[in-house]
Amino acid sequence: MSSAQQTADPGLYLPRSARIEAVADLTAREKFFRLTLDRPLGHQPGQFVMVTVPGMGECAISITCGPREDNILEMVIRKAGNLTGVIHGLKAGDTLGVRGPFGRGFDLAEFHGRDVLVVAGGLGLVPLRSLLTPMIADHGRFGRITLITGARTPAETLFREELARWREKDNVEVIEMVDSTAHLPWDGRVGLVTTPIGALGLDAARTTVVLCGPPVMYKFVLLELDRHYHVPAERIFIDLERRMRCGVGKCGHCQINQAYCCQQGPVFRYSELRDFPEALA
Amino acid sequence: MNAFLASPAQVGGWLHVLARTTALLWPQPKGSRNFSFLPLAQGAPVSLDRYRPTVVPPSRHLLPADETLFTYRCEPTGEVRYQPPEAPPRQILAGVRPCDLKGIAQLDAVMADAPADPLYGARRAATAIIGVDCLAPCDSRCFCAATGSLAFRGGADLFLTPLADGVLVEVTSDRGAELLAGAGFAPCGNAAALREQAEADRPVPFGRALAASPAELPAVLRAGYRSPVYGRHGERCFSCGTCNLVCPTCYCFEVRDDLALDGAGGRRSRTWDACMIPAFAEVAGGHNFRPQVGERQRHRLKRKFEYLPDRFGTGPFCVGCGRCGRQCAADIDILVMINEIVAEQGGAA
């Protein structure tokens, strides 16, 4: 035990104070937060942080900005309960506690020179924006980049202005889907995120696939991919969500069969998940 | 290392001396038939007799039910100051049997795994352990021999073996030697022979048997992933989580914040949680990754016999103490379930 104690970080569970610089409404339920930390976060795309409101609690939140050298942290938070309800009431100048970054994210170098298909259902776009932002900024280093986003209705779409700017780049295609227009103006397409996959004409050997969305989305996207292309399971990344209370592999909540989502994930290769029946159930 | 011989009365006297300066927890009767690791009160009798396993295992004294992660204070400037908890007090866990020593060793492995848990590490470092050997099964639920914990000695600073005419006291660490300083016990030159003789007199078989060895169980459980055994026993399960709370190797926790009455400060703590409780794997928005009780039973069993043994390589995380079955209101017994799955899979691999 003495060796364990020597290496233990006494601050493992201590948040760092972060100042809210900007808050923006994205939809009726989602707000965008830009925070300034005391030092650069130093994260990988796909990682997450634990966000604290002192006296209220702590929850896992995806990082939505790409890797940065400044002290900025960007997040999108859905009002889903008491804690996120309080966070929604905060404004610029208020503070939050932050721990992290935690988990295993994406290694951008592994995407260099590859065609990339990104399928983001609902809030799945939030963590994947941390991967897409550096990819689009440096799009010459990648092959063809295709992003399919899905939302229930136009009122629930995220980052549309940014998607429009991405679409202008060479070799970048953005396909926006909604399940239903709900009688709202809409210039994207109507259908599920699976609908456009068959007509993309992907080159399976050159393509890396990235998925993030509600649990029900995965098996249908994987079936559709399998029907039209045979992308090797090692080249399909899935960014999973689980309940996380500690972020450091101790509390047990995020366990998926033998994997701790907060340690071995939240980004997994599909080839790893085939041993975990609970992962995509 | 050194060994000594003492009478039970001398051992009792020595433990009372230790208890004067350090919190010393010893298994003592509680209620009509249960035992609990309680502070040894002045003059309380010290019995080395076999005891019914305590409801709550001693490992829980290293991972308390409500442990402060930090306190915080909001300054008038709006700044929040987070403060780590105070160093834990020294304690002596005494009268810990082999199965519970194994439980503590498994928690040591989990909490030392990077990133190491600083609170557990500090508490463990402040805890001395005095083990006591088990020479007869504690009751009809026992199966520690089957899980390989009966012979476990790791983590103890001193180890006591009750003999027909006294107590063998073996020193197993420097801290143990310090605890024994001034006890005045008679040196013993043939400790190994005495202990081996005492252990050779144990009944055979010792407690219940597993239908497959712990080394074989991961493969059996993988093959039986969809076994109906989980659902069949799950039908009786109340999803109360008692089996988790009394398990020496369960460590999952929930995190909660408490606000001070002045609203300007408070604390965050971790409290015991249980993967058998329905909402354990539920995420914001209500999706539950293990909604069925059978899925949760499977998760519990596989953690003990497959997931954690595979991950840490330190043997089964079920130590065979029998507590989960003993305390279960619906008489769901982990050994019975495992043996049914083994039988269903056509016996051991």
Question: In chain B, what are the domain boundaries?
Answer: 3-344
How much is the ipTM here? 0.90
N- to C-terminal Cα separation, chain B: 40
Q: Stretch B122-129: mean pLDDT, rounded? A: 97
Chain A environment of B290 (Cβ under 8 Å): 278
Among B124, B87, B153, which Cα is nearest to A2's?
Answer: B124
- Residue type for B144, please? C
Among A residues 13-42, those touching chain B with beta carbons less than 8 Å apart: 13-15, 17
Instruction: Inspect the interface and report whether the beta carbons of B280 and A243 lie closer than 8 Å.
Output: yes
DSSP classification of residue B288: B
Instruction: Name all domains of chain A by residue range, CATH numbers in brackets.
Output: 6-102 (2.40.30.10), 108-273 (3.40.50.80)
Which pLDDT score is estimated for B79? Answer: 87
- Confidence check: pLDDT of B319 > 50: yes
Q: Does A92 touch chain B (CB under 8 A)?
A: no
DSSP bridge partners of A78: A30
Write the pLDDT tens digit of every residue in B133-174. Answer: 999 999 999 999 999 999 999 999 999 999 988 999 999 999
Residue B103 CB partners (closer than 8 Å, separation 6+): B57, B58, B59, B149, B247, B248, B249, B319, B321
- Chain position carrying tokens 């003789």: B197
Identity of the amino acid at B190? N
Q: Looking at residue B77, what is its pLDDT?
A: 85
Chain A residues inside the 8 Å CB shell of B262: none
Residue B349: predicted pLDDT: 53
* C-alpha to C-alpha distance for B339 and B173, rounded to whole angstroms: 38
pLDDT of B239-277, one tens digit each?
A: 999 999 999 999 999 999 999 998 899 999 999 999 999
Q: What is the mean pLDDT of chain B?
A: 94
Residue pair B148/B168 in contact (Cβ under 8 Å)? The answer is no
* Share above pLDDT 90 across residues of chain B, in percent, rounded to a whole number: 90
Q: Count of A–B CB contacts within 8 Å?
A: 145
Predicted confidence at residue A164, as pLDDT, reads: 97
> What's the pLDDT at A79?
95
pLDDT in tens, B60-103: 999 999 999 999 999 888 889 999 999 999 999 999 999 999 99
pLDDT for B1 = 66
Q: Can you give the pLDDT at residue A5?
A: 45
Task: Name the amino acid, one letter, at A247.
Answer: G
Query: What pLDDT does residue A4 have?
Result: 43
Residue in the block written with tokens 């280093």: A141
Please, what are the averages of pLDDT over each run of 10 residues along chain A (281 residues)?
A: 59 95 97 97 97 95 96 96 95 96 96 97 97 96 97 96 96 97 96 96 96 94 95 96 91 91 94 90 72
Percent of chain B with pLDDT over 70: 99
- Scanning A221-260 for CB atoms below 8 A from B yields 241-243, 245-246, 248-253, 255-258
Q: What is the pTM of this model?
A: 0.94
pLDDT for residue B207: 96
Residue B285's pLDDT band (cuts 50, 70, 90): confident
Question: Quick one: angle between helices B293-302 and B334-344, nearest 10?
Answer: 90
Distance from CA of B89 to the nearest CA of A (A): 16
Q: To which residue do tokens 């194994």 refer? A: B102
Contacts of B69 in chain A (CB under 8 A): 13-14
pLDDT for the residue numbered B348 = 60
Q: State the nearest Cα–Cα gap between B97 and chain A, in angstroms.
A: 20
Rounding to the nearest 10 degrees, give the CA dihedral for residues B158, B159, B162, B163.
-100
